Amino acid sequence: MKQTLRRLPHARVDAGKPIRFTFDGQHYEGLAGDTLASALLANGVGVVGRSFKLHRPRGVLGSGKEEANALVQLERGEYTEPNARATLVPLYEGLEACGQNAWPNVHSDLFGALGLFKRLLPASFYYKTFMWPSWHRWEWLVRRIAGLGTAPQSADPQTYLKQNVHADVVVVGAGRSGLEAALEAARDSACRVLLIDEQEEAGGSLLASPSDADRAWLAAALREVAARENITRLQRTTVNGYYDNNVLAALERLGNHLGPAGAGPVRERFWRIFAGRVVLATGAIERPLVFPNNDRPGILLASAVREYSHRYGLTLGERIVFYTNNDSAWRTALELVEVGLPVTAIIDIRPAVDTALRQRAEDAGITLYPGTAVTNTRGRRGLRRLVLHRLTGQGEALGAPAGTLDCDVLAMSGGWTPTIHLYSQSGGQLRYRDGDACFVPERAHQAVTVVGRANGEFPEPLHLQPQWLTPGVSPEHQWVDFQYDVTASDIQLAARENFVSVEHVKRYTTNGMSVDQGKTSNVNGLGVLALATGRPIPEVGTTRFRPPYHPTTIGAYAGIELGGLYTPFQQLPAHAAHVAAGALFEDYGAWQRPACYPQPGEDEDAAVAREARAVRSAVGLLDYSPLGKLEVHGPDAREFLNRVYLNNIRTLEVGAARYGLMLNEAGIVIDDGVLVCLAEDHFLLHTTSGGASTIHQHLEEWLQCEWTDLAVIVNNATTQWATLMLSGPRARSVLQQLDSDIDVGREAFGHMQYRAGRLLGQPCRILRASFTGEVSFEISVPASCGQALWEALMQAGAAQGIVPFGIETLMLLRTEKGYLHVGADTDGNTMPQDLGWGGAVAKKPDDFIGRRSLSQPVGADPDRFQFTGLELLEPDARTVSGAHVLTAAGESTAGYVTSAYYSPNLNRSVVLGIVAGAREREGEVVTIFYAGRRQRARLVKPGAYDPAGEAFNG
């Protein structure tokens, strides 16, 4: 093949627009309309890659998505993309690509010597060889030799979007059949049609046709499509997945054809398509023939030679020979002759061929070799010569040698495989059609029809005679899967080793498992296996196709859900005030909340200690808005809540508040909080911060699924209100400075009471509960006033030394007090008796959710993990939550540390945990184990700070 930029007339490339690019560091020029593959061929670059296992030099095999050899590393650095098919990469100015799997380059690859050891590297070589002493011993070496392209090392700087779309009819493929189907469907103007095509331009195989009539038809059809308002076209879009309910996934390449420099804001768009009906017009892929050294550069699919000639205007070689087992290649050969290409011979394994075709070929001066097989190929880096043998009978055995034949291009055709990947993904059944040796759609499982070549409707009969491998010569170098270096001998080996199932053979040999997913190798592999096991192909069956049909960029799956948008976040009503106050934000569930407010020079520990001292000695302010606030309405609200809470709700008076525990039906504690009776038919439930939505759903599930007759409505009002916690000995005097109709005086407003009224002109709700152990007011105002209230309280408290404090400080303070935090100090087994609530259960007269589970045998197990305080014996010792508490023998786990802080108020560690049988073991000394270290601790009552509980009344 020699360098030429001169193209044949008719070509769909623009001779007036040269495009410069580099391959393996060499500069070349192609034309607008070229793919990287056609441009490389135009420049006479024969070797474009090295094979996966044996590093054999490989040239372009196909012209589209079926390409098995021309995998390149496209671009560099953060833009690099491995395994790009050169046949699918449209040429753009400045394109840079390298061959893969070779060092220093594909032209002279030092690993190429591996090819000499083919016999030593059969299927399963790695499985069998690198077992001793362990795979891990060899992994580094194998990983270096194996693998195709190189994954990018830095983040992908390009943007990807996801798009959902609905359509009544989705047509996949805009070749002749697809265009016809789309226009037919679009006759109904109310029918929304989506026409999707994966090539750079619509037309399918019409693009490779030299016929003026075909080109005119295509142009007219595209004009009509454009005129139909109800047809939406997605070009450069590959449908990769076909799922249940006619949901399809597709990847649209928006910027790839422009390269990194020229691309717009979005590189690719990932489409999720909801289709009423689907029409698959996905065409067919030509199959290679299996013969010795059929992988030599210069050997291409006949359809590819056709496309390079007519679409890209390339001559490819000086002596083009065809090798086929069916009629389609003859027609291609004749077409090529018509446009002046040097087709010198046709070798056909069939002893007899249609006389008309034969006559035309002879008239065209083509030498014919009927009943002949190619038994070897020669040429160092490209094809030079074929070795031929006669075949006997219907091609079962090899006869006499038939000499050699010089050529530099071999166009082969082993028949056609309908592209039924998507159909198979949709759950459709396939039928093997003997005459054409291919699988065709049989019975659809979803609303899908398959048309054209994808349905096995070939424009003219093939008269095919299968030949799955060449008889009479070694199967050793007869390639079936070019990409993964699987030969006929590998499949035969698998059969000898008693792999019967086609799915097992596929995995054992890796046939069809590379990035092309067996587009050219699948059916040939089945044929070889059928022969090896003496079964007909339908009995061997075919492997199930799975998404994606074509490799999909990982960035497209991620879309914009990256970095800050990885998952939805929630912000507090006074978020801006926290930012201004220098908050250190952390994620608590979806909420972004201040952990603490470090001052200059302070680390997190120092900030928490300072804030904790301030709350104990003066006053602190915490944004407590995520505190769950559920409102329960209805005539049956009290009855419902009495069934939901462990506590007796029947006795809760209007205006009163009560701490309550909620269990699931398995008896496990799922939430706790203060419950307020606002009116006989209206209750306010406080849930754990961040637990509001879960508990809301829990309550609605019981109302909708079980107690459907209870007239109760539950609303989640959490974010309607901004809730600030004012806590500390000076909290009351700070709050008293704000105008309100609520008397917050010590006598008027006691601990565990609730008031509603107005505060600085806005509605407000105040709950006196305490999670710090100090006097606390949990003040709620409408969320839009949250920031104003924050500012008002900070201003009012300035003279009293008010500090903002964060969640970490709150957690330290409540750990000092030994207050339970459900979810932190409980696990998926914690029952109320483990928290000291066994007595309350016994006293409640009524059933409630989870009650029955408490009296199951598991509830009486003496080794249940129970909530306890832990006092570290060594002075100044520290531990962490998650540390194990050991059994007496010290050999296994009998509990965990659940909360551990260093208390700046007590100057020692404060620790909570759940420990086996802890409630009966107070005073015992246990061992804590963490990161290889052991510590001793005494089991004590929770609550090291202010055990008498005087502060919160203060």
**What contacts 786, CB < 8 A, 6 or more positions away?**
572, 573, 574, 623, 625, 722, 724
What residues numbered 778-797 form the site for other proteins, per CB under 8 A?
Answer: 781-785, 787-789, 792, 795-796
Binding mask 441-460 for other proteins (x = CB under 8 A): ----x---------------
CB–CB of 488/347 below 8 Å?
Answer: no
Query: Which range binds other proteins by CB under 8 A, 118-126, 135-143, 241-249, 352-360?
Result: 241-249
Query: Which range binds other proteins by CB under 8 A, 63-71, 626-634, 672-680, 928-936?
Result: 626-634
Out of 364, 581, 666, 824, the residue judged to bind other proteins by CB under 8 A: 666
Nearest to other proteins of 696, 919 (CB atom): 696
Instruction: Provide the residue type at 573 as one letter.
Output: P
What residues numbered 908-927 form the site for other proteins, per CB under 8 A?
Answer: none
Out of 358, 613, 851, 921, the residue judged to bind other proteins by CB under 8 A: 851
Instruction: List the one residue out of 768, 408, 812 whose CA is nearest residue 596.
Output: 812
Pairing of strands 803-804, 620-623: parallel
Query: Which range binds other proteins by CB under 8 A, 39-47, 501-509, 717-725, 812-820?
Result: 717-725
Nearest to other proteins of 189, 355 (CB atom): 189
Minimum Å gap between C-beta 813 and other proteins is: 25
CB–CB of 19/30 below 8 Å?
Answer: yes
Nearest to other proteins of 152, 859 (CB atom): 859
Minimum Å gap between C-beta 257 and other proteins is: 16
CB–CB of 193/185 below 8 Å?
Answer: yes
Q: Does 272 bind other proteins (CB under 8 A)?
A: yes
Q: Does 739 bind other proteins (CB under 8 A)?
A: yes
Nearest to other proteins of 138, 557 (CB atom): 557
Out of 22, 429, 856, 953, the residue judged to bind other proteins by CB under 8 A: 856
Out of 665, 741, 861, 863, the residue judged to bind other proteins by CB under 8 A: 665
Nearest to other proteins of 488, 627 (CB atom): 627
- For 81-120, the DSSP string reads EEEEETTT-B--TTEEEEESS-SB-SSSBGGGGGGGGGGG
User: By three-state DSSP, how is residue 268 classified?
Assistant: strand
- Dist. CA 534–CA 437, nearest whole Å: 16
Out of 548, 582, 634, 836, the residue judged to bind other proteins by CB under 8 A: 634
Minimum Å gap between C-beta 722 and other proteins is: 8
Across 617-651, b (16+ Cβ under 10 Å) vs e yields ebbbbbbbbbbbbbbbbbebbbbbbbbbbbbbbee
CB–CB of 58/69 below 8 Å?
Answer: yes
Query: Which range binds other proteins by CB under 8 A, 828-836, 850-858, 872-880, 890-898?
Result: 850-858
Q: Does 244 bind other proteins (CB under 8 A)?
A: yes
Tokens of 336: 């090529």
Q: Does 706 bind other proteins (CB under 8 A)?
A: yes
Query: Which range binds other proteins by CB under 8 A, 716-724, 748-756, 867-875, 941-949?
Result: 716-724
What residues numbered 23-42 form the site for other proteins, per CB under 8 A?
Answer: none
Minimum Å gap between C-beta 713 and other proteins is: 5
Q: Does 857 bind other proteins (CB under 8 A)?
A: yes
Minimum Å gap between C-beta 761 and other proteins is: 3
Instruction: List the one residue out of 751, 897, 739, 916 whose CA is nearest residue 825.
Output: 897
Minimum Å gap between C-beta 472 and other proteins is: 47
Minimum Å gap between C-beta 550 and other proteins is: 20
Nearest to other proteins of 782, 823 (CB atom): 782
Nearest to other proteins of 857, 875 (CB atom): 857
CB–CB of 836/669 below 8 Å?
Answer: no
User: By three-state DSSP, how is residue 385 classified?
Assistant: strand
- For 496-522, the DSSP string reads HTT--SHHHHHHHH-TT-STTTTTTTH
Minimum Å gap between C-beta 809 and other proteins is: 22
Binding mask 336-375 for other proteins (x = CB under 8 A): ----------------------------------------
Out of 155, 216, 656, 760, the residue judged to bind other proteins by CB under 8 A: 760
Q: Does 737 bind other proteins (CB under 8 A)?
A: yes
Minimum Å gap between C-beta 455 and other proteins is: 23
User: By three-state DSSP, how is residue 839 classified?
Assistant: helix
Minimum Å gap between C-beta 188 and other proteins is: 13
CB–CB of 665/849 below 8 Å?
Answer: yes
- Dist. CA 174–CA 177, nearest whole Å: 7
Nearest to other proteins of 161, 840 (CB atom): 161
Residue 295: other Cβ atoms inside 10 A? 23
Q: Does 705 bind other proteins (CB under 8 A)?
A: yes
Q: Does 697 bind other proteins (CB under 8 A)?
A: yes
- Dist. CA 334–CA 764, nearest whole Å: 89
Q: Does 860 bind other proteins (CB under 8 A)?
A: no
Q: Does 680 bind other proteins (CB under 8 A)?
A: no
Give the distance, in angstroms, between the CA of residue 151 and the centroid of all CA atoms in the same chain.
Answer: 17
Binding mask 545-584 for other proteins (x = CB under 8 A): ---------------xx--xx-xxxxxxx-xx--------
Q: Does 127 bind other proteins (CB under 8 A)?
A: no
Angle between helices 176-185 and 212-227 (to 10 degrees): 30
Out of 554, 711, 880, 925, the residue judged to bind other proteins by CB under 8 A: 711
Minimum Å gap between C-beta 419 and other proteins is: 23
Out of 215, 633, 884, 908, the residue judged to bind other proteins by CB under 8 A: 633
- Dist. CA 505–CA 522, nearest whole Å: 11
Number of residues that bind other proteins (CB under 8 A): 82
Out of 708, 843, 862, 891, the residue judged to bind other proteins by CB under 8 A: 708
285 - beta bridge partners?
417
Which helix (H) or strand (E) element contains residue 78?
none
Q: How far is CA 157 from CA 153, 236, 258, 264, 684, in A?
A: 12, 21, 15, 12, 49
Tokens of 535: 């079964």
Q: Please state the φ and ψ torsions of residue 513, each to the nearest 5 degrees.
A: -105, 0
Tokens of 801: 């030394």
Out of 587, 701, 861, 920, the residue judged to bind other proteins by CB under 8 A: 701
Q: Does 404 bind other proteins (CB under 8 A)?
A: no
What residues numbered 157-186 form the site for other proteins, per CB under 8 A?
Answer: 159, 161-166
- Dist. CA 71–CA 152, nearest whole Å: 16
What residues numbered 462-491 form the site for other proteins, per CB under 8 A?
Answer: none
What residues numbered 582-611 form the site for other proteins, per CB under 8 A?
Answer: 591
Minimum Å gap between C-beta 782 and other proteins is: 4
Minimum Å gap between C-beta 706 and other proteins is: 6
724 - beta bridge partners?
623, 779
CB–CB of 500/494 below 8 Å?
Answer: no
233 - beta bridge partners?
195
Q: Does 720 bind other proteins (CB under 8 A)?
A: yes
Q: How far is CA 112 from CA 84, 147, 476, 510, in A?
A: 22, 15, 17, 21
Q: Please state the φ and ψ torsions of residue 493, each to the nearest 5 degrees.
A: -60, -45
Minimum Å gap between C-beta 265 and other proteins is: 4
Q: Does 631 bind other proteins (CB under 8 A)?
A: yes
